C-alpha cells in the first residue's frame, strides 16, 4: 500500500477507533455498537474513493511526500459554518435501520449530561438543536422536525405506538424542592408587530382526520387526550390550565369553530365531581345568544347578591339566596283551579279562573276571592 493511501486509511481507522473507544467507555452493549458502525459504513464509500485517487497520484511521484495530518471523511468539517464545532458541512445524513431480526437498540441516541452547577440563568441549552428558516417567497411547507410512524400493529397486541414522545422525569435531588418540569414546550413568538395579522401564529396544532366517511360510535378518534393521576391517591392540580401575562388580553379562552358540526359542546356526564361541573365567580355570567364576534344580549349569572337573568338594558329576573323572586312581570298560562276547597295543595300555591283567584292557605285548604270588573 502506498504511503498516502496508508495514511488516509489510518485516518479512517482513527475515526472508527474513537467511536469504538467512546462506546467502550460507556459500556454500551454490542447491539448498540452496531448502529455506530452502521453510521461509519455510510461514510466509508466516499472515503475509500478518495483513497484510490491518492494511491494513483502517489505512484507517479518519485520522492515520498512528507507525512500530513489525516484528512477527515468527505463533508466532515472541523469548523462548520464558522462555528468552531466539528460536524457535517453542506451534506446530508440518512440513517437506515432494517435488520433481519428485531433490533431493540436505538437507531440514533444523543446523550447530554451537564455537570453540577453549570449553565447560566435564563439561557437554554439543547441536546439536539434543529434550526431552519424560510424566505418571503417560499411556497413549500418547511417542517424543521417531523416524526412519522406507519402503524400496522393489530389492536389485539396492546401495542401503543407514538410518532413523537417527550417524557421528563421530575426526580428528587436530596437538597430541596425540584424546579418546574415540562415534557413538551411549544412557542409561537410573533415579532412582526403587525396589527390584526392575516395569518396564524399557533403554539400547537393537533389534527385528527379520517380518509373515508366512516362513523366513530366508539369515539376512538380523539383530537387531544389528557390523562392525569399516576397511582391511586395522587392529586393533579389542573387537567388544563390557561394563563396569560399581566396586561395581555386573550379574546377567546376556549372556542369551537369550523364548518362541520358538534354533537355536544362540553360533556361532563360521565365524570364524577366533588364540586360543581362549572364554577363561575361573582360578577361572571353565561351569554345565551352570542355570535361569532362575541356579541350577545341575554345572560345568566351571579352579580354577588342574586342569580340574575338579564338583557342588555339590565336584569329582568332575580332569585335571592332566601328564595325571593323579583320579575318584571308574571303570567300564568294555564288556570288549573282547584275542584274544591279541600283539594290537595301546599301553602303558597295559587290558581285562577275567569271568576275567582285561589290561594292555598294550609295543607289541602284553599280559599278564593271573586274577580270583579271596574
* Interval 210-252: pLDDT, tens: 999 999 999 999 999 999 988 999 999 999 999 999 999 999 9
Distances 373 to 184, 230, 330, 367 between C-alpha atoms, Å: 77, 74, 21, 20
SS3 173: coil
In terms of C-beta density within 10 A (0-12 exposed, 13-18 middle, 19 or more buried), how is residue 4 classed? Answer: buried
* Interval 114-150: pLDDT, tens: 988 889 999 999 999 999 999 999 999 999 999 999 9
* Nine-digit cell string for 368: 278564593
Instruction: In whole angstroms, give the CA distance from residue 311 to residue 307.
Output: 14
Distances 65 to 8, 48, 58, 59, 71 between C-alpha atoms, Å: 13, 20, 8, 11, 15
Closest to 109 in 3D by CA, of 128, 125, 90, 93:
128
Q: What residues pair up with 308 in beta bridges, in sequence order?
A: 301, 318
Please give the pLDDT value at position 62.
53
Closest to 287 in 3D by CA, of 297, 273, 277, 274:
297
Please give the pLDDT value at position 17.
42
CA angle 186, 244, 277 (to 5 degrees): 100
Closest to 11 in 3D by CA, of 59, 47, 39:
47
Sheet holding 314-319, edge to edge: 285-287, 299-302, 307-311, 314-319, 325-327
Measure CA 287 to chain center: 28
Say how many C-beta atoms besides its own lie within 10 A of residue 287's C-beta: 14
Give the residues of the chain that fall short of pLDDT 50.
1-61
H/E stretch holding 36 reads helix 30-59
In terms of C-beta density within 10 A (0-12 exposed, 13-18 middle, 19 or more buried), how is residue 304 classed? Answer: exposed
210-221: burial string, b at 16+ Cβ within 10 Å, e else: eeeeeeeeeeee
Please give the pLDDT value at position 63.
57
CA max distance for the chain: 137
Q: Yes or no: say if 51 and 5 are a contact pair by the CB < 8 Å rule.
A: yes
Closest to 366 in 3D by CA, of 202, 256, 349:
349
- pTM equals 0.70
SS3 content of the chain, % helix, strand, coil (to 5): 15, 10, 75
Instruction: In whole angstroms, give the CA distance from residue 148 to residue 218.
Output: 25
- DSSP structure class, residue 121: T
Instruction: In whole angstroms, give the CA distance from residue 250 to residue 291.
Output: 17
Say how many C-beta atoms besides its own lie within 10 A of residue 248's C-beta: 7
Q: Yes or no: say if 282 and 303 are a contact pair by the CB < 8 Å rule.
A: yes
Q: Yes or no: say if 182 and 203 are a contact pair by the CB < 8 Å rule.
A: no
Amino acid at each position: 500500500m502506498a504511503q498516502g493511501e496508508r495514511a488516509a486509511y489510518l485516518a479512517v481507522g482513527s475515526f472508527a477507533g474513537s467511536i469504538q473507544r467512546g462506546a467502550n467507555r460507556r459500556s454500551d452493549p454490542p447491539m448498540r455498537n452496531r448502529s455506530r458502525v452502521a453510521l461509519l459504513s455510510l461514510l466509508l464509500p466516499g472515503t475509500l474513493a478518495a483513497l484510490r485517487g491518492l494511491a494513483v497520484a502517489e505512484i507517479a511521484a518519485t520522492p515520498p511526500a512528507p507525512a500530513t495530518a489525516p484528512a477527515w471523511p468527505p463533508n466532515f468539517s472541523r469548523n462548520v459554518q464558522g462555528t468552531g464545532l466539528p460536524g457535517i458541512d453542506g451534506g446530508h445524513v440518512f440513517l437506515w435501520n432494517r435488520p433481519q431480526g428485531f433490533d431493540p437498540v436505538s437507531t440514533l441516541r444523543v446523550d447530554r449530561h451537564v455537570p453540577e452547577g453549570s449553565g447560566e440563568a435564563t439561557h437554554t441549552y439543547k441536546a439536539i438543536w434543529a434550526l431552519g428558516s424560510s424566505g418571503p417567497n417560499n411556497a413549500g411547507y418547511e417542517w424543521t422536525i417531523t416524526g412519522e410512524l406507519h402503524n400496522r400493529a393489530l389492536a389485539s397486541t396492546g401495542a401503543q405506538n407514538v410518532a413523537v414522545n417527550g417524557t421528563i422525569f421530575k426526580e428528587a435531588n436530596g437538597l430541596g424542592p425540584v424546579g418546574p418540569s415540562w415534557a413538551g414546550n411549544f412557542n409561537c413568538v410573533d415579532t412582526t408587530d403587525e396589527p390584526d395579522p392575516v395569518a396564524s401564529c399557533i403554539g400547537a396544532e393537533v389534527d385528527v382526520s379520517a380518509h373515508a366517511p366512516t362513523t366513530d360510535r366508539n369515539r376512538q378518534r380523539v383530537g387531544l387526550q389528557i390523562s392525569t393521576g399516576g397511582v391511586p391517591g395522587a392529586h393533579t392540580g389542573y387537567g388544563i390550565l390557561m394563563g396569560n401575562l399581566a396586561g395581555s388580553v386573550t379574546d377567546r379562552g376556549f372556542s369551537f369553530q369550523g364548518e362541520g358540526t358538534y354533537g355536544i359542546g362540553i360533556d361532563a356526564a360521565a365524570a364524577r365531581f366533588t364540586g360543581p361541573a362549572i364554577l363561575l365567580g361573582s360578577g361572571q355570567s353565561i351569554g345565551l345568544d352570542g355570535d361569532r364576534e362575541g356579541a350577545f344580549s341575554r345572560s345568566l349569572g351571579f352579580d354577588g347578591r342574586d342569580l340574575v337573568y338579564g338583557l342588555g338594558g339590565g336584569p329582568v329576573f332575580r332569585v335571592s339566596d332566601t328564595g325571593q323572586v323579583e320579575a318584571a312581570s308574571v303570567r300564568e298560562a294555564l288556570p288549573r283551579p282547584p275542584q274544591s276547597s279541600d283539594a290537595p295543595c301546599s301553602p303558597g300555591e295559587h290558581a285562577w279562573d275567569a271568576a275567582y283567584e285561589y290561594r292555598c292557605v294550609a295543607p289541602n285548604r284553599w280559599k278564593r276571592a271573586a274577580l270583579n270588573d271596574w
